[in-house]
Structure 1
């Protein structure tokens, strides 16, 4: 009994230590975003002195043009998320239900994209050939293509746990393929699709390299590029830089906190269903 209690205490203490270490950078940025320029230059974990510099955020919004970049990030992330959820669920359903040799090859080809690096030279030529360079549609399609392999892999394993008898019952009742998928299969995929939604949103919101290469117009930049540009102009004002980082990270943190339970339920439901 004592040994079990000691193990529990040691485990909890270790978890607290790791959590504190992980939270230190976030607290550092948050505290310094509420200080004046001179105090923030020390970059320490001291609490901000009164009066708290709330105006740092208004300065960042005005000078960093965050409102426009926030709208761009929402367009890119939500557009790619919706496309990715729809296409990956359809592809995973078809590939999982048709276990032919050709379908297995196609599935392995798609999943191979998880490990393959992005060739930006070839990708640039493709984007230019399709006239998608420096366009919002091009970035949305690019984000979708980059997130599809893992999304298909995740939903594929979930679909495999759904009994085929449900498909047969739907066909007997007169359901056509699209109605069968939309009315019977898709509601059962809700935990997996929610997981794909959250993970895809987090990955696309934080994407930096792709828009840097394929968006030459600053009016189309997402928030990640705005932070990069803002840091280049105000690298001496760490209070403003930290405020910019806080405002850029806030949507990601909110989405993660709201979708955390869906990620866990999606992973566990796919493992035990059927």
Structure 2
């Protein structure tokens, strides 16, 4: 029986490694081609370069438009994630602590946001009526609306595991309302908060649709739209295109490395039935 289990574990390990190669090989190819010269990078092979050209990264980093796109993405990520965390954590806290029928209905509406598709035509009309289309605030609010359902969902499960005795003890000490939440409850939400930050930031940083339809000005584009522009600008210089890809990925990879230890605990707690 143990021998059979070992064989199954070995086969499973081999299968997982094969699936991993589907991600590792393309990523390794991009890294290699980012330090090649133009003729070698045009082949897009896995061969080592005859000479490493790290100056490719300096070439793309000297582009002022790329720096501007990084600042734009940072603004969109920071703004949307901050508003999403505040609104979602407060909403989830109220929905968990007061489980009335109306609040249960509101929670179900939040869950519908996880599966309901976005009507882009109606969204454009709403942003036009509010005079916030092609603006940072319009894009931030749109990202926030997209992220809130998932963030409420994972906060709801995590807060449900926090005993009410903490609330009662805090109220005895004089903490109530917003003060109780931010002094007692919110510090306990660090794992699920980091999970929400990593996932929402990843989705915002890599998003292509919102900048394409709702940010018509190229001065407001983020890094993904700018990278897309590089494909047409440097179509014959794949070494520079690959360098832009690496530079674009680095910030989100660093964020993931910082928050990875909280991802499993946060997602597991968020899956608890409330």
Shorter-chain TM-score tier: over 0.9
Residue of structure 2 equivalent to 1:3: 4
Deviations 1:127-178 (A, max 9, x none): 1111211111221111111101000011111111111222122222221211
TM-score (structure 2 length as normaliser): 0.93
What pairs up with 1:147-186 in 2 under 5 angstroms? Answer: 147-186=147-186
Matched length:
272
Structure 1 ranges of 4+ moved more than 6 A = none
The 1-side partners of 2:267 and 2:199 are apart by 12
Deviation at 1:181, TM superposition (A): 0.5
Structure 2 alignment gaps of length 5 or more: none
- Cα displacement (A) at 1:187: 1.6
* 1:268 shift after superposition: 3.6
Superposition pairs of residues 72-91 of structure 1, within 5 angstroms: 72-91=72-91
Matched, 1:146 2:146: yes
Corresponding residue of 1:16? 17
Residues 60 and 244 of structure 2 are in contact (CA less than 8 Å); yes or no, is this contact kept in structure 1? yes
Report the counterpart of residue 137 of structure 2 in structure 1.
Answer: 137
Looking at structure 2, the residues matched to 174 and 58 of structure 1 have their Cα atoms a distance apart, in angstroms, of 57
2:31 matched to which residue of 1?
30
Shift of 1:271: 6.2
**1:98 matched to 2:98:** yes
1:52-105 residue CA offsets vs partner (Å, 9 max, x unmatched): 111221222234721111111111111111111111100100111111111111
Question: Contact between 1:224 and 1:248, CA under 8 Å: does it hold in 2?
Answer: yes
1:172-216 CA deviation, whole Å, 9 max, x = no partner?
Answer: 222121111011111221111111111111111011110111112
Q: How many Å separate the matches in 2 of 1:190 and 1:162?
A: 13
Aligned to 1:224: 224
- Distance in 1, matches of 2:263 and 2:217, equals 35
Supply the distance in 1 between the matched residues of 2:47 and 2:214 (Cα, whole angstroms).
40
SS in 1 for 2:62: helix
Q: Matches of 1:270 and 1:216 in 2, distance apart?
A: 36
Contact 1:158 1:270 in 2 (8 A): yes
SS of aligned partner of 2:224: helix
SS at match of 2:83: helix
Q: CA RMSD in A?
A: 1.8
CA distance in 1, matches of 2:221, 2:113: 26
Deviation (angstroms), 1:220: 1.3
